[in-house]
Structures are given as structure tokens and as C-alpha cells.
Amino acid sequence: MKLLVIEDDREAAAYMVKGLKESGHVVDHAADGTQGLFMAGSENYDVLIVDRMLPGRDGLSLIEVLRATGITTPILILSALGSVDDRVRGLRSGGDDYLTKPYAFSELLARVEALGRRAAANAPATRLEVGDLVMDLLTRTVRRAGKPIDLLPREFQLLEYLMRHAGSVVTRTMLLEGVWDYHFDPQTNVIDVHIARLRQKVDRDFDPPMIHTIRGAGYCLRA
């Protein structure tokens, strides 16, 4: 994982960074709240480890700003303040876990890795696969049997919808609402035209065909 440690105590930070790197993680370090806020907002990290008492900007304020700007990276708060009220305040500020100093490094590592696993499990899918058909949602690319397929934006949306419902019958109403955002039937053949174009690109040069018409019901994409 890629981690950011925001800790002003040099010895504590060096010890933590060394241990995390030895455990196989990539680790950056910020020595104050201002630098930490900038780094956390400009890089993609899997977990942030934030000391509560920081120069420049305190840890809870830093976390509140990150959450207010839509950054949802899991955060482990470190603090010498360990009362119930202190822990509750830290969690309510947007922290995901709270560890009281002094701590055992093995516990810190376990908590960081647990936060990373939880975030990975909740991350939205960026890749769809049905048989030999693969769609990358980040690069907006589609391949079948390893060969690239060029799609227009609406064709990409239509195929994405079919792939997300692979194996199930998708009705015309579902397509009108899910792909075209129509909540009424425009009484046109817009769906038939786009399905025909999609078949030409996805099925024509490949075997077996994947896009099937279900008479009286709609369409189904299956391997």
C-alpha cells in the first residue's frame, strides 16, 4: 500500500516509516499539518496516519478539511489523548480508527492493513469482464479476445449497462432509464439502432455472439 505518515516528532516518524517500509509498504512523510494537508490532497494514498497534535494545522482540523473536500482515504489517528471523549471526537472529525500513544508497532501495522483491506473491499469496480470481453472503466477502453473495440460514448454506456447486468434480461424500459435517462418511451427505434451498431463491433468478428435478443422481453449479454 501507499501510505502517508503525518507526524512532527522526528524519532517517532522515522521509527514508524522504517517499520512500515520493512513491511512492504511505500511510505511518504509530512512533518507538519500544512504539508500533510497538501500531500494528502494532491496524491492518492491507501491510508493516512495522522498525529493529532501537529504544528501548522492540528490533526483533527486537517481531517475535517480533507473530508469536506470529498477525500475519503481511510485515516488512523495517533494521539497521546486517550479518554473516551478524545477518541469520540477524533472519530467524529472523520477519522476511521484511533490509536493511543504509546503503541506497539505491531498493533499500528495491523490497524493500517485492516483499514487498507476495508477500503479495497469497498472500492468501486474499475474493470468489467464477461467471457473474453473486458471493459476498463478508467481508460474507457474495451477489448474482446485481446483485440481493441472502438466505441462511441453512447455505445460504451450501453455496453457497460449490459455488462453490469450480464446474464440477466434487460428490458427496453431499463435501457431507456439507465442509458438515455428517459423516464418515458420516446416511441423511436433508438435502442434497436444502438444495439445493432454494438453487435457489429462486439460480435461480428468474434464467436460466439454475446448480445442476444429475448423476444418480447429485451436483451441479454452473456458469454
pLDDT at residue 222, as a whole number: 93
The domain segmentation of the chain, as residue ranges, is 2-122, 127-221
Q: Burial of 80 by CB count in 10 Å (0-12 exposed, 13-18 middle, 19+ buried)?
A: exposed
- Model pTM greater than 0.85? no
Superfamily of domain 2-122 in CATH is: Response regulator (3.40.50.2300)
pLDDT in tens, 3-42: 999 999 999 999 999 999 999 999 999 999 999 999 999 8
- Cβ(176)–Cβ(154) under 8 Å? no
**Average pLDDT of the residues in 136-156:** 94
pLDDT at residue 143, as a whole number: 96
Cα–Cα distance, 214 to 200 (Å, whole number): 18
pLDDT at residue 35, as a whole number: 96
| Helix runs in 43-104, H state only | 59-68, 84-92
CATH no. for 127-221: 1.10.10.10
Residue 127: band (very low, low, confident or very high) from pLDDT cuts 50, 70, 90: confident
Residue 123: band (very low, low, confident or very high) from pLDDT cuts 50, 70, 90: low
**Average pLDDT of the residues in 101-128:** 88
Does residue 70 have a pLDDT over 80?
Answer: yes
Average pLDDT, rounded, for the chain: 93
Phi, psi of 118 (to 5 degrees): -65, -40
